[in-house]
């Protein structure tokens, strides 16, 4: 019996495997870090995959018990229980991956034919002599015309300032980075010979800033990393920061400079990893919600913080990086995707671009869960977006033992026959609970009957009275890393109810606006880093989503970041983004008379 | 006998006068400040005018003696000796005016049909409401399209940053200043309702910076002033400043910041005079020689200071004022006219534009005298320019008692029968001698035989031996304002010989290149503030110019400043400037084998 191949999608990983071994063994060898708390015993149910094609063992009793008949019929399997008989291709849902692997997934290459805004044009110029007295800039323009066919190229003033010394230091050779946007061509940097055109794609979140350093010629990510948004020091959520900026010019400038410094630092970090400098970055794309967008560009937010909440600008912007204090290539631009409305920003447009929702068939619901959750409903004739203030509970904030998804955070919880099981990030001793863990906890407590639909906590050996009223102890003093118990309080449950209620109410009102029933939903797309960490079962259990079959829910990761990278490397994608923003309708939820009732009803913990 | 009218050209002044009174009396009443040292006795000969048409008294003996038969036949008269018989029109040469009046002349309105780069577009927008949630910028663009027909207008980022608060403070009304250049339209400022579009035209000289504040709609100058170029502290001439800038980045930045601060200060002064602020300036034009141009824009000058002396940029530039640290309107641009070569800069192109030399008939020689003197020779088929290092002697520098043309500077000298006469600026007691005074002194000493053609000083009652060798005492201790004598030394004469030799050599080599003889010259145009102060007789006497009839020499004032104002208010004029620069040939004098001989010969003090 020879070997065969196994493919893991959507990761694009492939490994050789021996018939008879399990999918879990093959995954480990392929570097696909499936979550497997029980170590392959079939008891935790976390290593779920879907067999797309290929010859594998039949579902075991354990699998049918863990996954349910319907899921098994759709091809769902537990990787630890499934033995390979021949070549096979499996699909790995995001929440079957460990945290570390999920972060890696977000670093995947973006598949797009690059049509970059900035072209790297190598040139070699005849040196200046007494018989050829052309100005340096004229000499460069002549070479760009002769060698690259550019008719009329403008020179950024900062490029003109550095060109003469560079030309002579580089012996009259180099790379002119020419930006061709809107019928204009402009040299935004003159660099060393063979210098690649670097781009920076930034997902500017209220809490976190993630960036990719990209080779504009190939679209490939060269390095990626994230930092906390330092504006948190001035206000945790969007409204708090708008309020701070409204206090005065100094305060608004503080916020602007803080975020620019953070992005500049990220650019230095990423460039440092590949032996480059931020001066070699010739184009950047930044996506964020409207408030983050405005605070980054230095646009005022007063009118965003008061009714009727209009943006200063909603069209796409091309801003010189230096005009907002960002030190990239001499004449580099930052491109900002269009905003839709005051609370449906460029990150939403980027998410639509990154997921492709506007071009999907049928009826599709999209969610980007965060402190503000943006929703979109795509029907055959409409594309309607709205925003709901879901708060930071899903990010572990305002939860008593809450924390970010860092080492030691409980990220997954189950309750079987009264026994509590959990998994922490990095399998470290627990020190707190992150958003996905809280959500799981609420869902399993509801399923076990410890919580009522209204969120009331009932008796259970683990329920005790704490400082905030009743609480359910997840980890005892002896189990935690800091010697204090970790519990879910009644107040934590309320925070989750408010958050999920805001989202569910938005979904219901969107569907009502479009005249769509739950049964019409062909797909639900969970975008955003956070949506990727959540357990779909738990989301459905507590009714954050309407009751759709779990198989219709797709976790696509940080689609806004993907959209930013698409827009970074392709002018066609920028045009698509413009068309999407022009087509998107905006629904203002808070002025709808149905909103209060919908919200109250949606807070119930039931599908 | 009734009254009649007298017109003074090219000033455009008109006065009523009584038949029988002198032209000088009429001039005084009209506010035309004719120079008249002798108080109207006919002895100083400074109040020369040309009667163009009209009925006046016949030339007196005094006039024929002072002016010569040929000049009198061409209509030249002394205003103090000429009595009005009826309506008359006279032409006033620049050097018949007092210094103050000459400065006023430079403030004349530029006659051009404005086609301004920036249009003031008043708009009134519908306020944002819950049923009209358009972004502020979108609202403005929509209004510009509907009310002014702009299809696609970009918004400068600094305008976008200020727009929302302005719109609300101004109750949704205001003026959008839209710049239409190169097929692009861009809002560079959003101002108060009825705000006029202000422009700033700057003549950036090595020694002096002159600026006009202009209403772009009419082309009218609202205020004008000048200051010394503060870069003088870092080096007196162009080469010294290039040398300083080449010492390092800090030094180059010092020079750049000094000149920007001076222009910013001028803008504040001018705006203050008419109750405006520099923030309301929506466009500026700056002209200067190539080195001043580069140091202002922050372009490097190393390659300008070393062979083959090429500019960093020779095409026209549009630079955001903020990019070079100049605080004008939010998104205002500075337009810089094209340079021709390393030492024939944008100020030369502006002079050509301001004088109209390229479009004149026949053969025309143009000079802009300064520390560097730019020359142009226009023949029916060619337009050839060159530059000569004439040094600062004509500006009173490197002259022992030299000074600027400030109060108390001897600006005019005559020597009749051994008697020295002079006139000072403001008729103050003399404290020094300015460039035109030195040149006059050398010319009259040469005419009186006190100087030989080689510049040697011969015996004369006023000649004595001083610290620098022989010197001619112009004003004795008792006559001066500071109690020390003022004299012209042999070394001062040498300085004038070097300066005039450089210019004359350039003229001879230009004429040789074009195959033009002195008799072919139809006109000689003396441009530049300095050329206006010089006595044409003196210039011809010492042979700074080839021996042409004095009537063919025209003093046109600061034509570069006029060119700057034309380019400020008219896109057509910018196009003309581009065409002129493209057509201009550059002749590098120093590499011509004939240069040394031509220079040596040209230093002789003879026509």
Query: How far off is chain A from B253, nearest CA to CA, in Å?
Result: 12
Q: What is the DSSP letter of A430?
A: P
Query: CB distance A324–B157 less than 8 Å?
Result: yes
Three-point CA angle A462, A468, A474, nearest 5°: 30
Query: CB distance A299–B160 less than 8 Å?
Result: yes
Strand positions, DSSP E, A290-371: 317-320, 333-336, 364-368
Provide the greatest CA pair distance for chain A: 96
Q: Which residues of chain B have pLDDT under 50?
A: 103-105, 107
Which of B130, B137, B312 is nearest residue A588 as measured by Cβ atoms?
B130
Collect all residues of chain A within an 8 Å Cβ-Cβ radius of residue B141. 315
Query: CB distance B310–A342 less than 8 Å?
Result: no
- What is the per-residue pLDDT across A394-429, written as a single tens digit (0 to 9) for each? 877 789 999 887 888 998 898 887 788 888 887 889
Q: How many angstroms separate the CA atoms of A99 and A94, rounded?
A: 9
Query: CB distance B323–A158 less than 8 Å?
Result: yes
Query: How far off is chain A from B84, nearest CA to CA, in Å?
Result: 58
Query: CB distance A308–B135 less than 8 Å?
Result: no
Collect all residues of chain A within an 8 Å Cβ-Cβ radius of residue B589. none
Q: Look at A66-75, A540-549, B252-261, B357-366 and tell me which has the smallest mean pLDDT.
A: A66-75
Of all residues in chain B, the one with the smallest CA distance to A336 is B157
Query: CB distance B133–A310 less than 8 Å?
Result: yes
In terms of C-beta distances under 8 Å and separation of at least 24 residues, what long-range contacts does A235-241 make, across chains too? Answer: A236/A371, A236/A392, A236/A397, A237/A206, A237/A371, A237/A372, A237/A391, A237/A392, A238/A206, A238/A289, A238/A291, A238/A292, A238/A343, A238/A371, A238/A372, A239/A305, A239/A389, A241/A206, A241/A291, A241/A295, A241/A301
Smallest Cα–Cα separation from A410: which of A378, A390, A433, A435? A433
Query: How far off is chain A from B178, nearest CA to CA, in Å?
Result: 17
In the sheet with A153-155, reading across from the earlier edge strand, the strands are: A118-124, A173-181, A184-191, A153-155
Which of A133, A310, A591 is nearest residue B136 as measured by Cβ atoms?
A310
Does domain B118-191 fall under CATH 3.10.20.880? My reply is yes
Query: CB distance A297–B157 less than 8 Å?
Result: yes
Average confidence (pLDDT) over A438-454 = 94
Determine if the peptide bond prior to B10 is cis (ω within 30°): yes
Q: How many angstroms separate the CA atoms of A240 and A237, rounded?
A: 5
Map out the domains of chain A as residue ranges: 4-92, 118-191, 393-496
Q: Which fold has domain B198-336?
A: Nucleotidyltransferase; domain 5 (3.30.420)
Q: The tokens 């180099």 sit on which residue? A: A174
Is the pLDDT reported for residue A18 higher than 90?
Answer: no
pLDDT at position B37: 67
Q: Is the reported ipTM for this assembly greater than 0.85?
A: no
Upper half-sphere CA count for residue B606 (Cβ side, 13 Å): 9
Collect all residues of chain A within an 8 Å Cβ-Cβ radius of residue B155. 313
Query: How far off is chain A from B100, nearest CA to CA, in Å?
Result: 39
- What is the per-residue pLDDT across A167-215, written as a single tens digit (0 to 9) for each? 999 999 999 999 999 889 999 999 999 899 999 999 999 888 999 999 9
Which of A155, A163, A312 is nearest residue B163 as measured by Cβ atoms?
A312
pLDDT at position B90: 87
Collect all residues of chain B within an 8 Å Cβ-Cβ radius of residue A297. 157, 160-161
The residue of A141, A156, A300 whose CB has the most chain B CBs within 10 angstroms, and thus the best one to mutate to test that interface, is: A300
pLDDT at position B104: 45
pLDDT at position B398: 84
Query: CB distance B130–A308 less than 8 Å?
Result: yes
Helix (H) or strand (E) holding B234: none
Of all residues in chain A, the one with the smallest CA distance to B294 is A161
Collect all residues of chain A within an 8 Å Cβ-Cβ radius of residue B160. 297, 299, 312-313, 317
Which of A128, A342, A586 is nearest residue B310 as measured by Cβ atoms?
A128
Tokens encoding B472: 């001619």
pLDDT at position B116: 95
Phi-psi region of B499 (alpha: psi -120 to 50; beta: other; left: phi over 0): alpha
**Residue B277 DSSP SS3:** coil
The residue of B160, B309, B578 whose CB has the most chain A CBs within 10 angstroms, and thus the best one to mutate to test that interface, is: B160
Query: CB distance A317–B129 less than 8 Å?
Result: no
Query: CB distance A317–B157 less than 8 Å?
Result: yes
Upper half-sphere CA count for residue A451 (Cβ side, 13 Å): 29
Collect all residues of chain A within an 8 Å Cβ-Cβ radius of residue B136. 303, 310-313
Query: How far off is chain A from B257, nearest CA to CA, in Å?
Result: 15
Strand positions, DSSP E, A317-400: 317-320, 333-336, 364-368, 372-378, 383-389
Tokens encoding A568: 């970074």
Query: CB distance B588–A133 less than 8 Å?
Result: yes
The residue of B131, B168, B253, B312 whose CB has the most chain A CBs within 10 angstroms, and thus the best one to mutate to test that interface, is: B312
- Rounded to the nearest 10 degrees, the angle between the axes of helix B346-355 and helix B559-569 is 90
Query: CB distance B157–A319 less than 8 Å?
Result: yes
Query: How far off is chain B from A328, nearest CA to CA, in Å?
Result: 15
Average confidence (pLDDT) over A324-333 = 98
Query: CB distance B168–A303 less than 8 Å?
Result: yes
Which of B135, B314, B320 is nearest residue A138 as measured by Cβ atoms?
B314
**Between A and B, how many CB-CB pairs are < 8 A?**
136
Domains B4-92 and B198-336 share a fold: no
pLDDT at position A348: 97
pLDDT at position B515: 97
pLDDT at position A111: 64
**Domain at A4-92, CATH from 3.40.50.12500, 2.60.260.20, 2.60.120.380, 3.10.20.30:** 3.10.20.30
What is the model's pTM?
A: 0.83
Query: CB distance A136–B310 less than 8 Å?
Result: yes
Residues in chain A: 607
Which of B158, B164, B314 is nearest residue A312 as measured by Cβ atoms?
B164
Collect all residues of chain B within an 8 Å Cβ-Cβ radius of residue A162. 300
Query: CB distance B323–A137 less than 8 Å?
Result: no
The residue of A127, A132, A135 whose CB has the most chain B CBs within 10 angstroms, and thus the best one to mutate to test that interface, is: A135
Query: CB distance B308–A184 less than 8 Å?
Result: no
Query: How far off is chain B from A553, nearest CA to CA, in Å?
Result: 33
pLDDT greater at residue A392 or residue B579: B579
> Residue B80 CA to chain centroid, in angstroms?
29
Which of A298, A311, A324 is nearest residue B135 as measured by Cβ atoms?
A311
Query: CB distance A313–B135 less than 8 Å?
Result: yes
């Amino acid at each position: 019996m020879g070997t065969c191949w196994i493919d893991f999608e959507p990761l694009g990983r492939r490994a050789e495997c021996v018939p008879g071994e399990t999918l879990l063994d093959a995954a480990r060898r392929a570097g696909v870090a499936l979550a497997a708390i029980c170590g392959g015993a079939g008891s935790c149910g976390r290593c779920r995959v879907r067999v797309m094609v290929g010859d594998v063992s039949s579902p075991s009793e354990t699998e049918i018990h863990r996954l349910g008949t319907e899921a098994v019929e759709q091809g769902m399997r537990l990787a630890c229980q499934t033995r390979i008989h021949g070549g096979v291709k499996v699909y790995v849902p995001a929440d079957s991956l460990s945290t570390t692997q999920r972060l890696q997934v977000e670093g995947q290459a973006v598949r797009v034919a690059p049509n970059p805004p900035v072209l790297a044009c190598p040139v070699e110029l005849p040196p200046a002599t007494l018989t050829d007295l052309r100005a340096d800039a004229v000499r460069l323009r002549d070479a760009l015309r002769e060698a690259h066919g550019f008719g009329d190229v403008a020179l950024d003033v900062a490029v003109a300032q550095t060109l003469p010394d560079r030309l002579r230091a580089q012996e009259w050779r180099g790379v002119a980075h020419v930006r061709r946007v809107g019928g204009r061509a402009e040299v935004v940097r003159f660099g060393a010979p063979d210098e690649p055109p670097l781009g920076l794609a930034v997902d500017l979140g209220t809490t976190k800033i993630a960036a990719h350093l990209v080779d504009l010629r190939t679209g490939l990510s060269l390095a990626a990393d994230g930092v906390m948004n330092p504006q948190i020091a001035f206000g945790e959520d969007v409204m708090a920061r708008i309020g701070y900026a409204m206090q005065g010019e100094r305060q608004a400038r503080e916020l602007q400079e803080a975020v620019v410094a953070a992005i500049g630092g990220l650019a230095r970090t990423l460039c440092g990893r590949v032996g480059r400098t931020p001066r070699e970055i010739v184009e950047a794309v930044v996506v964020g919600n409207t408030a983050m967008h405005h605070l980054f560009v230095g646009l005022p937010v007063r009118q965003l913080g008061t009714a009727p909440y209009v943006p200063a600008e909603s069209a796409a912007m091309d801003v010189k990086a230096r005009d907002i204090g960002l030190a990239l290539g001499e004449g580099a631009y930052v491109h900002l995707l269009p905003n839709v409305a005051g609370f449906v920003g460029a990150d939403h447009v980027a998410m639509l671009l990154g997921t492709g929702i506007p071009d999907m068939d049928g009826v599709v619901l999209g969610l980007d869960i965060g402190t503000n959750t943006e929703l979109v409903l795509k029907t055959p004739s409409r594309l309607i977006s709205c925003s709901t203030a879901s708060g930071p509970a899903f990010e572990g904030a305002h939860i008593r033992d809450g924390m970010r998804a860092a080492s030691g955070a409980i990220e997954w919880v189950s309750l079987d026959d009264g026994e509590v099981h959990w998994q922490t990030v990095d399998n470290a001793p627990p020190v707190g609970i992150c958003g996905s863990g809280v959500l799981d906890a609420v869902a399993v407590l509801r399923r076990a009957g410890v919580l009522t639909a209204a969120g009331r906590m009932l008796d259970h050996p683990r329920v005790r009275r704490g400082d905030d009223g009743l609480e359910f102890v997840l980890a005892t003093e002896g189990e935690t890393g800091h010697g204090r118990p970790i519990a879910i309080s009644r107040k934590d449950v309320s925070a989750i109810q408010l958050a999920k209620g805001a989202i569910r109410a938005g979904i219901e009102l969107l569907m009502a606006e479009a005249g769509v029933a739950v049964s019409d939903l062909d797909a639900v797309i969970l975008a955003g880093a956070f949506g990727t960490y959540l357990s779909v079962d738990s989301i459905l259990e507590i009714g954050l989503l309407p009751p759709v079959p779990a198989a219709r829910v797709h976790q696509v990761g940080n689609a806004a970041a993907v959209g930013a990278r698409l827009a970074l490397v392709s002018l066609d994608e920028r045009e698509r983004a413009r068309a999407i923003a022009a087509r998107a309708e905006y629904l203002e939820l808070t002025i709808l008379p149905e909103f209060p009732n919908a919200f109250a009803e949606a807070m119930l913990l039931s599908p």
